[in-house]
Chain A
Amino acid sequence: MKRKKSSVGLITSLSIWTTLPVILVLLIMGGTTLWVLGNRVNMLVEDNAAHTMRMMERIVKTEVDGAVKNYLRAAAEKNRDLMSFFYQEAQKGEISEDAAYERIREILLDPEYGQVGSTSYLAGVTTEGILEIHPVSPGVDASDFEFMQKAMEMKNGYLEYEWKNVGEEEARLKAGYLSYFEPWDIMVWASSYKSEFYSLIDQRSLDDQVSTIRIDETGYVVIRNSEGKIIAGDDTLKILNKVPADRAAHAVVDSKIGQVRIDTKIQEETGWQVSVVSPLSPYNRLLWMLRIIIGLSIVVSAVLLHFVIRYLLNRTLAPLKSMRGLAERVSQGDLTGRIHNLSEDEIGEVGVIFNHILTEFSGVLGNNKSVIQVLSESIQNLSTSAQEIASTSNEQAAAVKEILSTMEDADQVSKDNMEKIEEVAKIANNTKENVEQGFELIKTSLSKMEEIRTTNSETIVGIKTLGERITSIWEIVNIINSIADQTKIIAFNAELEAAAAGDAGKNFQIVAGEIRRLADSTVNSTNEIKGKINEIQHASDKLIVASEEGTRRITEGWDISTNIRGIFEEVLNSSEISAHSADEISRSTKMQVSSFEQIFTTLKQISESIDSFVESTNYTNQVSDHLTEITESFGKEIDGYTVEEEKEE
Chain B
Amino acid sequence: MNNDEILKQIESNDKVEKDIEVKEELFYRYLVFWIGEQKFALPAEEVHEILTYNEIYFVPFVPPYIRGYANRHGQPYTVFDLQMLFENSGIEGSHLLILKVPNDQIALLISDVDEIVKVPDSKIYSLTSQDETSQYFSGAVNVEETEIFVLGVSKILERLESDIERS
Whether chain A touches chain B in the assembled complex (some CB pair under 8 Å): yes
A492 and B45 in contact, given A499-B29, A649-B73, A649-B74 (Cβ under 8 angstroms) = no
Tally chain A residues at the interface, Cβ within 8 Å: 13
| Stretch binding the partner chain, chosen from A124-132, A170-178, A482-490, A595-603 | A482-490
Interchain CB contact under 8 A, A489 and B52: yes
- Chain A residues with CB under 8 A of B50: 489, 492-493, 496
A/B pair count, beta carbons within 8 Å? 34
Can you list, as one digit per residue, whether each of A364-385 has a CB less than 8 Å from chain B (1) or not (0)? 0000000000000000000000
B95 near A489 with CB under 8 A, answer yes
User: CB distance B113 to A488 under 8 Å?
Assistant: yes
Assess whether A496 is in contact with B52, with CB atoms less than 8 Å apart.
Answer: no
| Closest beta carbon of chain A to B31's beta carbon, Å | 7
Q: Which residues of B contact A485 (CB under 8 A)?
A: 52
A496 to B50, CA, bound (A): 9
Partner of A500, one of B45, B51, B116: B45
Task: Give, as a whole number of angstroms, the nearest-CB distance from A20 to chain B.
Answer: 58
Judged by a CB distance under 8 angstroms, whether B49 is at the interface is yes
A22 to B113, CA, bound (A): 80
| B85: Cβ under 8 A from any A Cβ | no
> A329 CA to B166 CA in the complex, in Å?
58
Would A496 and B95 count as touching, CB distance under 8 A?
no
B116 close to A496 (CB less than 8 A):
yes
**A482 vs chain B, min Cβ distance (A):** 9
Report chain B residues within 8 Å CB of A493. Answer: 49-50
Interface assignment of B15: CB less than 8 Å from any CB of chain A: no
Question: Secondary structure of the A side of the interface?
Answer: helix
Chain A 462-498 interface mask (CB, 8 Å, partner B; 1/0): 0000000000000000000000011011001101100
Q: Chain A residues near B113 (CB, 8 Å)?
A: 488-489, 492
Q: How far is the CA of A488 from the CA of B48 in the complex (A)?
A: 16
Residues on B with C-beta less than 8 A from A496 are 31, 44, 47-50, 116
Count residues of chain B with CB under 8 A from any CB of chain A: 16
Across-interface contacts of B48 in A (CB, < 8 A) = 496
Q: B73: nearest residue on chain A (CB-CB)?
A: A649
Candidate in A486, A489, A513 with the most chain B CB atoms within 10 angstroms: A489
Taking CB as reference atom, which chain B residue is nearest A520?
B115
Using Cβ atoms and an 8 Å threshold, which residues of chain A touch B51?
Answer: 489
B 23-54 to A, binary, CB cutoff 8 A, 1 in contact else 0? 00000010100000000000011011111100
Q: Inside 8 A of B52's CB, which chain A residues have their CB?
A: 485-486, 489
Q: Tell me the bound Cα distance from A489 to B96 in angstroms.
A: 11
Interface positions, chain B 98-132, Cβ under 8 Å from A, are 113, 115-116
* Closest-CB distance, A648 to chain B (whole angstroms): 11
B115: chain A residues at CB < 8 Å are 516
* Cα separation A489 to B49 with both chains bound (whole Å): 9
Q: Which of A497-527 contact B (CB under 8 A)?
A: 499-500, 513, 516
CA distance A379 to B31 in the complex (A): 21
Within the assembled complex, what's the spacing in Å between the Cα atoms of A552 and B47? Answer: 61
B74 & A499 in contact (Cβ 8 Å cutoff): no
List 6 A-B pairs, Cβ < 8 Å. A489-B51, A495-B44, A495-B116, A496-B44, A496-B47, A496-B48
Q: Which 7 A-B pairs have the closest CB atoms?
A: A499-B44, A492-B50, A495-B116, A489-B50, A493-B49, A499-B29, A489-B52
